[in-house]
Amino acid sequence: MNLNVLQPKKAVESAFKKPNVPLALILVVLPSLASIASSIVFGAPFKVENAVYSIVLAYVAFFVLAFVIFALVAILKGSEAKGKMAGYLSALSLVKIASLAIVLLSVVAIPLCFSPAAMNAVAAAANETSPGIAVGMAAAFVEENPNAINWPLFSVFLAIAAIILILGAYLVFLGIKKLSNTGWLGAVALAIIAFIIMGVLPVI
């Protein structure tokens, strides 16, 4: 299983040819572990229940997404999906490398772009169990303290994060296309469903 997502087509092909589910399960949880570690670095107290929630949510989101898409492909093109579950799980887990990159990018970006007061706000938000509440807290702070952030530099980091997100989306698309052995249009339709699921699950 090739983990070089900078060559997405080769990485996805490798995942289907040489699937590695145990490695995939490790990749799934790496962004959550990195996020927990970065929160501690930024001053948020470690809470076992928050860590467990984050890890469990990562696995639930991953498997719900994987099985929904696999079921859709099995219904529409049953013969194509047969015997590809391990490969698809391995391919889908490659997206988590992009997620991990964004977490690590934030570890670099936050100290460079945020004032000490903003850092405290980030730490407080990171301590929240619900991602929705955390985002709301961060947004409220930014609205009240617009000068607490170096916006030009922060914009550069946001642009890099956007590129990484596009790479992650492309990996999802390639995995679905390989699983379904369908054309671009069919793969795009299934990918849109996948992105909707990915957008809804984290706020549970």
75-90 per-position pLDDT tens digit: 877 777 888 999 999 9
Tell me which of 62-76, 114-128, 167-181 is least confident.
114-128
Is the pLDDT assigned to residue 187 strictly greater than 50? yes
Output phi, psi for 149, to 5 deg: -125, 135
Angstrom distance (rounded) from CA 172 to CA 92: 6
pLDDT at 131: 56
Is the pLDDT assigned to residue 114 strictly greater than 90? no
More confident residue, 132 or 190: 190
Are 25 and 93 spatial neighbours (Cβ–Cβ below 8 Å)? yes
Percent of the chain at pLDDT > 90 equals: 39
State the sign of the Cα–Cα–Cα–Cα dihedral 129, 135, 136, 138.
positive
pLDDT tens-place string over residues 24-64: 999 999 999 998 888 787 777 778 888 898 899 899 989 98
pLDDT tens-place string over residues 115-151: 777 777 766 666 655 556 666 777 777 777 777 788 8
Domain coordinates in residue numbering, the chain: 8-203
The strand pairing partners of 149, in sequence order, are 114
pLDDT at 164: 94
Is the pLDDT assigned to residue 73 strictly greater than 90? no
Tell me which of 50-54, 158-162, 199-203 is least confident.
199-203
Are 59 and 202 spatial neighbours (Cβ–Cβ below 8 Å)? no
Tell me which of 19-23, 31-35, 126-130, 174-178 is least confident.
126-130
Percent of the chain at pLDDT > 70 equals: 88
